[in-house]
Amino acid sequence: MTPRDRTQSHQCSAKTGGRTPAGTRLWGSLGPIMRHVLLAAVAIAFLIPFYWMAISALKDNSQIFARPLQWWPHPVQWDNILRALTYPGFPFLRFLWNSVFYAGCVSLGTVLSCAAVGYGFARLHFPGRDLLFAITVSTMLIPGIVIFIPTFVLFKHLGLLGTYVPLIVPACLGNAFFIFLLRQFFLGLPQELTDAARVDGAGEFRIFWQIMLPLVRPALLVAALLSFIWTWHEFFGPLIYLSDRSQYPLSLGLFAFRAQHTTEWSLLLAASTLATLPLVVLFFCTQRYFLEGMTLIGIKG
């Protein structure tokens, strides 16, 4: 940007005064077209790996690594999908179901427990509350591995290795991040609501369940969504706790497949696409909440 551009844009905003507010935008003076060009370039760069994964799922190996690059599979290898789904020893449909089960349970349990705990921290007074909350926030700094080593030993002694119990039960007791997030939302609700309900003789649980919970529904949805996606991505927990392949969620199944078939690229990428697709569908169904969720984390966090 030349000094001349800068003075011009300055004159512009000064002249129009209150009507067109001066942007926060450093790029404001670049002009809308330049900005679109830049953004389009960035968006394409971000999209290429995504696109590459999806079209490579419909190519054979020689097409994936062809020179010149093949931006569209020719011919389209539709049977890759079928081959990936029915590959002997790697039941991807089973993995898919395991992922749905795992992420579904964790997300449901997390939202229920974190809503209750967040509500307790935000709206009810009890001795030691603030100290307990401070401890809760500081636990976010503890590396997962510090927890995993003794917990693994514990579950081994309980004979629960190779089951989903160690993956689901601890998660259902709450999660510091979501407790923090939901507490912020409960804090924002008016105290009069609680007082009025108490005068009317409603018990604390009823106030929570029937009055407060419906008011923070968007936040609950965001928490459920984020928890679902993060559990779908989860790799370390399943890696150490699960041993039987029929129990693997998609992440781990994909990893095991890659370990055995390093060169089956078309199948690897077809399976990767299949592991991503459900989240993309979920994302487009709930996009508004999802983007809102990222925004909320930014503001509340």
Report the site for another protein in 165-204 (rule: CB under 8 A).
170, 172-174, 179, 198, 203-204
Residue 255 identity (one-letter amino acid): F
Give the residue with the Cβ less far from another protein, 214 or 301: 301
Question: Which one of 82, 97, 101, 129 is in contact with another protein (CB under 8 A)?
Answer: 129
- The correct pick among 38, 76, 93, 285 for binding another protein (CB under 8 A) is 38
Piece of 73-81, 85-93, 144-152, 213-221 that binds another protein (CB under 8 A): 144-152
CB of 24 to another protein, least distance (A): 5
Q: Using CB under 8 A, which of 113, 189, 218, 261 touches another protein?
A: 113
Nearer to another protein, 32 or 89 (CB): 32
**Closer residue to another protein (CB): 93 or 147:** 147
Spatial distance between the Cα atoms of 6 and 10, rounded to a whole number of angstroms: 6
From the number of C-beta atoms within 10 Å of its C-beta (0-12, 13-18, 19+), residue 259 rates as exposed
Of 76 and 239, which CB lies nearer to another protein in the complex structure? 239
Interactions with another protein, residue window 221-280 (CB under 8 A): 229, 232-233, 235-236, 239-240, 250-252, 254-255, 258, 265, 268-269, 271-273, 275-276, 279-280
Confirm or reject binding of residue 147 to another protein (CB under 8 A): yes
Residue 143, interface with another protein (CB under 8 A)? yes
**Per CB under 8 A, which region of 34-42, 74-82, 90-98, 215-223 contacts another protein?**
34-42
| φ/ψ (deg, to 5) at 235 | -125, -45
Choose between 190 and 284: whose C-beta lies nearer to another protein: 284
Per-residue 3-state assignment (H helix, E strand, C coil) for the chain: CCHHHHHHHHHHHHHHCCCCCCCCCHHHHHCHHHHHHHHHHHHHHHHHHHHHHHHHCCCCHHHHCCCCCCCCCCCCCCHHHHHHHCCCCCCHHHHHHHHHHHHHHHHHHHHHHHHHHHHHHHHCCCCCHHHHHHHHHHHHHCCHHHHHHHHHHHHHHCCCCCCCHHHHHHHHCCCHHHHHHHHHHHHCCCHHHHHHHHHCCCCHHHHHHHHHHHHCHHHHHHHHHHHHHHHHHCCHHHHHHCCCHHHCCHHHHHHHHHHHCCCCHHHHHHHHHHHHHHHHHHHHHCHHHHHHHHHHHHHHC
- Pick the piece of the chain touching another protein (CB under 8 A) from 73-81, 82-90, 118-126, 216-224: 118-126
Interface size with another protein, residues (CB under 8 A):
113
134 counts as binding another protein under rule CB under 8 A = no
Query: Which window, 74-82, 84-92, 115-123, 216-224, contacts another protein (CB under 8 A)?
Result: 115-123
Q: How far apart are CA 257 and CA 264, in angstroms?
A: 9
Work out whether 210 is an interface residue with another protein (CB under 8 A). no
Which segment (77-85, 90-98, 149-157, 216-224) binds another protein by CB under 8 A? 149-157
70-99 positions binding another protein, by CB under 8 A: none
Q: Find the angle CA(90)-CA(52)-CA(63) to the nearest 5 degrees.
A: 80
